[in-house]
């Protein structure tokens, strides 16, 4: 296999990797915020259920969660599993898993905010919703960007776990080519792709942190 053909096949896998990455962030970031509200709720039942959910998601392997999400419709509901469901199962499992991590990051950021800001906003006539979304949330985002960046970088590497349910992302493509051609070159190239991908993510998040640094 020539170099161009190998790069072409890896590129198709890279597209799948990017799709998993983008869609996971798109769904898990807002879901994590919702879960953080449940985690801080005054309702004991809601708070307990959310805490248990986060504990399970963080305490079990993502690989196992992928398998459960993919096979659950068949074993629990007797539904037929189609090949098209594989990618959906990957996005669902990744989103549910990362939302649990993001929820704890959000919670730590929200609880770190001084109570005086809520009181000042109330005096100024802001509602609870306005106080949170206009005053608290922008400051929380600024504080939690570093841990969010770490989780985002981890997500790039975790996309390779999609192979568990036969979704051909970049690393899976690299392994297939390496096995067929009996060479580790595709794996090395995939490693470089992952590094560049993570470098772009890290630089992008660093620029975002600088823009949100109001005190520089």
Q: pLDDT per residue over 12-52, tens digit each? A: 888 889 999 999 999 999 999 999 999 999 999 999 999 99
Percent of the chain with pLDDT strictly greater than 90: 43
pLDDT number for residue 216: 47
3-state secondary structure the chain: CCHHHHHHHHHHHHHHHHHHHHHHHHHHHHHHHHHHHHHCCCCHHHHHHHHHHHHHHHHCCHHHHHHHHHHHHHHHHCCCCCCCHHHHHHHHHHHHHHHHHHHHHHHHHHHCCCHHHHHHHHHCCCCHHHHHHHHHHHHHHHHHHHHHHHHHHHHHHHHHHHHHHCCCCHHHHHHHHHHHHCCCHHHHHHHHHHHHHHHHHHHHHHHHHHHCCCCC
Confidence of residue 214 (pLDDT cuts 50, 70, 90): low
Decide if pLDDT at 182 tops 50. Answer: yes
Q: Is a pLDDT exceeding 80 seen at residue 195?
A: yes
Mean pLDDT of all residues in the chain? 87
- Give pLDDT tens digits for 142-167: 889 889 999 999 999 999 899 888 78
How far apart are alpha carbons 36 and 110 in whole angstroms?
9
CA distance 178 to 20: 23
pLDDT greater than 70 at residue 1: no
The whole-number pLDDT of residue 2 equals 63
Q: What is the mean pLDDT of residues 4-8?
A: 75
For 52, other C-beta atoms within 10 Å of its C-beta total 10
Token representation of residue 141: 């985002």
Band the pLDDT of 53: cuts 50, 70, 90. Answer: very high
CATH topology for 3-211 is MetI-like fold (1.10.3720)
pLDDT above 70 coverage of the chain, percent: 98
Is the overall model pTM greater than 0.85, yes or no? Answer: yes
| Mean pLDDT along residues 122-146 | 84
> Is a pLDDT exceeding 80 seen at residue 213?
no
**How is the chain split into domains, by residue range?**
3-211
């Amino acid at each position: 296999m020539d170099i161009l053909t190998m790069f072409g096949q890896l590129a198709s896998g890279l597209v799948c990797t990017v799709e998993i990455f983008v869609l996971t962030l798109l769904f898990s970031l807002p879901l994590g915020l919702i879960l953080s509200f449940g985690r801080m709720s005054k309702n004991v039942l809601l708070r307990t259920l959310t805490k248990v959910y986060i504990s399970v998601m963080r305490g079990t392997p993502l690989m196992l969660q992928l398998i459960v999400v993919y096979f659950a419709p068949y074993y629990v509901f007797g539904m037929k599993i189609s090949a098209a469901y594989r990618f959906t199962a990957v996005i669902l499992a990744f989103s549910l898993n990362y939302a649990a991590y993001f929820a704890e990051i959000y919670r730590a950021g929200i609880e770190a905010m001084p109570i005086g800001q809520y009181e000042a906003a109330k005096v100024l006539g802001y509602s609870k919703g306005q106080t949170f979304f206009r005053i608290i949330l922008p400051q929380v985002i600024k504080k939690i960007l570093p841990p969010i960046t770490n989780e985002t970088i981890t997500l790039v590497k975790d996309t390779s776990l999609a192979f568990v349910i036969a979704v051909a992302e970049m690393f899976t493509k690299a392994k297939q080519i390496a096995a067929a051609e009996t060479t580790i070159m595709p794996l090395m190239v995939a490693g470089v792709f992952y590094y560049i991908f993570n470098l772009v993510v890290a630089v992008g998040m660093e620029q975002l942190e600088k823009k949100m640094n109001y005190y520089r």
